[in-house]
Structure 1
């Protein structure tokens, strides 16, 4: 007999959106079930944000050791144990996976293993690997099914010559050469990691600039920084053909009116993600999907009453922190603890943990100018920051964009050490609708890289002190 259990809320997907939704629902007194077919914590924790940062930390440490002589430290040339690097990154992911399981258990969330499928009328079928089916019912269901890597047309991932980020996270050996297609955060981070380990890396980007969603000045700076590190960057380039060989891959690329054949041991395809909208039963409901994303209103509702969707499955920006933020807002609406305010995505920060790091929030300068508003733009190079000079990390800058009439902060962009740890200052300022007066009037600690944030705001209004 099929088991049938009633809940107040069923969440399908256990990533940063799904498990946070389940935890918040439990906090609000709802009886919650979380359906996950493979890994609690989702792609981010198990195969994305977390393990990549473990690898990048190893690369950063290697870079620091190699530069120790400039600090007066005499150290032998470090060796590279790729197996141990990968093993540690997997251990980090596993530790956090267990942590999520503990949090859900402590909160009283019922974790149900299997694939969740909408069956209509508030019913979710959970199909297990052994063929058994469990039925869950709930007045509200949240789809948090995440996303997966997009492949190049007619070039499927094979785990050998053609990699997705799964393969790049767990290489059996270090390739001598690597072509990275796509220069978003994923592509740039892996290009940085492998280049630091001595791999000959070429980045191919179809758009005119790397980090194509970012500010043009940041993208230009990053392109130059990568090329100084020995990474070849081909922007505005298209992939005409990909051939696998016995030893690697051959990629035909066109750029600036010329065609060129690139050869490498491996090809990493990092051209973005597509939402997991198939196989979850939306055809049994009024839930609609377009271009690999579930269609919702500004509050996360789908066309099916009682069915909501959040996170990567609803489209860009595909960021873990966006998914978690949407999760809390969505559950609070379901529980009646929040009104019908829409998801505000104006101040969601984006970070790239390559070397150098980048972090941005709000509008790019081009986006701000497109509004027609008069702008005040401030820039401050880290070469003028005492803390950056003391640590030898002067490659970078801070850029702030303000409305010239109102003084409102419109956007902020950073390149340099710990940019991802500092961007929250601008995120908070933007969320609180701060103007230049509040930022300029804030006391920043000395010596710190954060002082460059202050100086950038000062520079926008002709008041910079250290440049």
Structure 2
């Protein structure tokens, strides 16, 4: 049995970041991942990277269709989804190649197969060729990612009832698409399919799109979606789905009759991928469907840590990578770095984009700074829509949060992330020179309103 200082289960952002950093710290590391071609995890292979490629294609198509407002004449043919998928795949192949080369040169040992605990320190790896291997780790990191949640009465079939992974493999543009769930995934796919020509409806059981985020920002997103022809229904629950003749008949709670759709995307969230790990054999407790961890990301077994979607909470690639760094630091130094989630960037790459960070609710000593229509210079020159920008500040005038809607929001948010993380004041933001004309330049003007 080969022994390692650290065994990492999972080759996504959390697993790779922790593993690579541990190697640099002088540790003997083994990283287990189900398949070599799936290194990079959900984000690279079936999440944030391919969806951004689809969204870019949608953006180009949208620009082509409205080229006349810029005095240009451009022909926008009907979308061939199979060709778009082929283009997306070529980009993902390059990224996979990069991850593969990085992994080969990392100094970590890689074993490809399904890992599960045999004891607190022993991991059994079941390989694709049917063979098995048992390895030992003084410390173990669980970073096994997540899977899509499904409706109990409507399991995924890959044809009519889809999850986000399946949508990325889809080559058929549905005439009518229902999206169940108004979170980031649902809103991004709504943008793609609406742009490409599908009739799209989003239903969300809670009272707003992007639940738990700023209500004004959500309202603007809903308004813009509806102006684009996307039907948005909040506070709506799906009670039943019946498949008939290759279509889906959907019963909404309280509705008199069922509605027919060609395809349904179920985007009601994701859950930690823990089922086959046998965590009980290692004395690791699960809480609310995720690995229970302390502020150092240490599980109920002091020698086992966890990062990324495995611990629930923010299921973002960037938060997983950060958590991997926290885990690596604490394994090396003996728990000296606490998890700090004050300034996690929360981004939605829809049209329009939406982004937020930190505290986004006034009250308890926090005030909201908001000047409607402030973001109008660059949008007018670019002929894009005027967005929304808010800051949230403490009674000491320290920036504690912010929210954006509009062009480049997913890029601009990092200035507010930096402000929150480093406890900058509104005066410091106001005194920071911004280039003109840019989408970020309203920030100091908004900050000035708080002085």
Q: Decide: shared fold, TM above 0.5.
A: yes
Task: Map Cα deviations across residues 384-433 of structure 1 (whole Å, 9 max, x no partner).
Answer: 53222111123311111112x20011210011111111110000011001
Q: Report runs of 4+ in structure 1 exceeding 6 Å deviation.
A: none
User: How far apart are 1:245 and its partner, in Å?
Assistant: 1.1
| Contact 1:380 1:456 (C-alpha < 8 Å) held by counterparts | no
Aligned partner (choices 399, 402, 407) of residue 409 of structure 1: 399
Q: Show CA shifts across 1:68-108 (max 9, x none).
A: 11111111233322111111212222221221121121121
TM-score w.r.t. structure 2 length?
A: 0.97
Q: State how many pairs are aligned.
A: 449
2:395 corresponds to 1:398 = no
Counterpart of 1:340 (choices 333, 336, 339) is 336
Residue aligned with 1:423, SS: helix
Cα pair 1:408 1:436 within 8 Å, conserved: yes
The offset of 1:136, in angstroms, is 1.4
| Structure 1 unaligned spans of 5+ | 462-467
Change (3 A) 1:260 1:359: farther
Q: Deviations over 1:54-77 (max 9, x none)?
A: 000000001111111111111123
1:322-357 Cα distance to aligned partner (Å, 9 max, x none): 100010111011112x75332111110110001000
Task: Tell me if 1:272 matches 2:269.
Answer: yes
Query: Does structure 1 residue 423 correspond to structure 2 residue 413?
Result: yes
Matched residue of 2:402: which SS? strand
Determine helix, strand or coil for the equivalent of 2:435.
Answer: coil
- Distance (Å, rounded) in 1 between the aligned partners of 2:274 and 2:246: 36
Alpha carbons 2:141, 2:304 under 8 Å: kept: yes
Contact 2:297 2:326 in 1 (8 A): no
Quote the residue 1:317 is aligned against. Answer: 314
1:98 matched to which residue of 2?
Answer: 97
Q: Measure, in 2, the Cα distance between the counterparts of 1:180 and 1:357.
A: 18
2:74 is aligned to 75
1:327 lines up with 2:318 in the alignment: no
RMSD: 1.4
**Cα distance between partner residues in 1 of 2:66 and 2:280:** 57
Q: Which TM-score applies when normalising by structure 1?
A: 0.93
1:243 to 1:282, Cα distance in 2 relative to 1, 3 A: same
User: Is it true that 1:386 corresponds to 2:386 in the alignment?
Assistant: no
Aligned twin of 2:32: 35
CA distance in 2, matches of 1:459, 1:177: 45
Matched, 1:164 2:186: no
Q: Tell me which residue corresponds to 1:303.
A: 300
Deviation at 1:259? Answer: 4.6
For the pair 1:144 / 2:143, whether they are aligned, the reply is yes
Q: Is structure 2 residue 3 aligned with structure 1 residue 12?
A: no
**Deviation for aligned residue 1:380:** 4.7
CA offsets, 1:118-166, max 9 Å, x none?
1214111111122211121121110000100000122100001100001
Local SS of the residue matching 2:449:
helix
> Structure 1 residues 452-461 or 216-225, which shifts more?
452-461
Q: Give the aligned partner of residue 465 of structure 1.
A: none
Q: Is the 8 A contact 2:329 2:336 kept in 1?
A: no
